[in-house]
Amino acid sequence: MKGLLYFSLLVSSFAVFSAESDFAWHGYASQGVTQSNNSSFITDGDAVTGELTEIGINGLYRLSENLSIAGQINYLDGGNRFEQGARLDYLFVDWKLPNLGNGWQAHIHAGRFKNRHWLYSVTRDVPQTRYTAVLPQSVYFDGFRDIALGSNGILTSFTHYGQNTIWELNWSYGRSNINSSQRDFLLGEEANGEAKQDFVHQASVFWQPASMAWKVGVSWLNSDFSYTPSQQDNRLAGEANVERFMLSTQYFAEHWEVSMELLSESQHSKGLFAPDFNDKRRGDGGFVQFRYLFNSQFSGLIGYDTYVNDVNDRDGKRLEQLSNGAVPAYFGYQDTTTLGLRWDIAPKWRLQGEYHWVEGATRVVSLLDRNVADQADKNWQMWSLQLMYWW
pLDDT reported for residue 94: 98
Burial class, 296, CB count within 10 angstroms (exposed 0-12 / middle 13-18 / buried 19+)? exposed
Domain that holds residue 277: 2-390
d(CA 51, CA 378): 24
Report the CATH number at residue 269: 2.40.160.10
Instruction: Give which of 303, 263, 304, 266 is closest to 285, Cα–Cα.
Output: 263
Instruction: Give which of 48, 38, 144, 142 is closest to 384, Cα–Cα.
Output: 48
Q: What's the half-sphere exposure (Cβ side, CA atoms, 13 Å) at 52?
A: 25
d(CA 50, CA 52): 5
Could you read off the pLDDT tens digit of each residue along the chain, which spans 391 residues? 544 544 554 555 555 555 556 899 999 999 999 999 999 999 999 999 999 999 999 999 999 999 999 999 999 999 999 889 999 999 999 999 998 888 999 999 999 999 999 999 988 889 999 999 999 999 999 988 888 889 999 999 999 999 999 999 999 999 999 988 888 888 888 899 999 999 999 999 999 999 999 999 999 999 999 999 998 898 999 999 999 999 999 999 999 999 999 999 999 999 998 999 999 999 999 999 999 999 999 999 999 999 999 999 999 999 999 999 999 999 999 999 999 999 999 999 999 999 999 999 999 988 888 789 999 999 999 999 999 999 9
Q: pTM above 0.85?
A: yes
Helices (H), the chain: 2-17, 145-149, 180-187, 317-322
d(CA 23, CA 26): 11
Structural element, H or E, at residue 67: strand 67-77
d(CA 38, CA 279): 31
d(CA 235, CA 55): 37
What torsion, rounded to 10 degrees, do the Cα atoms 316, 267, 261, 38 define? 40
d(CA 217, CA 116): 11
pLDDT reported for residue 6: 45
What torsion, rounded to 10 degrees, do the Cα atoms 131, 132, 136, 137 define? 150
Residues 149-174 pLDDT 10s: 899 999 999 999 999 999 999 999 99
Tell me if 72 sits within 8 A of 57, measured CB to CB. Answer: yes
d(CA 307, CA 382): 17
Based on the structure, what is the number of domains in the chain? 1
pLDDT reported for residue 21: 65
